[in-house]
Amino acid sequence: MNKALLLEKYIKVAVKKALKEQEEQQKKAEKAMYMVYRFPGLKKLMEDLMSPAFGRYVNGINIVAPKPTTFKVDLTNGQDFSIKYIGKGNFQLKIAGRKYDPLNLGELERASQGIADLLELNYAPKEGTETPTGGGEPQPGAEELGGEIAAAETPPTTPTEEPPAEEESPPAEA
């Protein structure tokens, strides 16, 4: 195949994939923010805790229990925390097992730091998104274009010599 044609196909697939991911992210954000707009006090609390751009860090907000109304806030890295409505516009937070009262400024700051700590936690990448053993970044769209591009993009690997197996020592007697 011609390199220019191959590059053109690759770019088309990459653009389509990027647009699709962007649309999915937009739909997910709208769904996540539904609860925030339904409960105005929740929006103000989230802005106080995180920032007015808290939507970037939240995957979803769900109601977990009806009485007292308890919300589960799912963060982008898979972590979560809960917010409990305790009446008259007041909330109680539970972040990483600790309870906070946002009416107290010091506790609000500690709760905000607790959320920041949760956001810092990262997990191993999901299966299929790992970087190839040859090194470098995985090429988006390579699987859709078939084996030709995938073969052209992966660097040749040289067989490496396996290290000698360690001898097993007998278990120590106690």
- Choose from 19-23, 82-86, 139-143 the range with maximum mean pLDDT: 82-86
Confidence of residue 55 (pLDDT cuts 50, 70, 90): confident
Can you tell me the mean pLDDT for 132-146?
47
Helix (H, G, I), strand (E, B) or coil at 65: strand
- Look at residue 141 and tell me whether its pLDDT is greater than 70: no
- Look at residue 153 and tell me whether its pLDDT is greater than 80: no
- Look at residue 89 and tell me whether its pLDDT is greater than 80: yes
For the record, the structure tokens of 79 come out as 């972590």
What pLDDT does residue 136 have? 45
Which pTM value belongs to this model? 0.56
Nearest to 58 by CA among 16, 29, 100, 90: 29
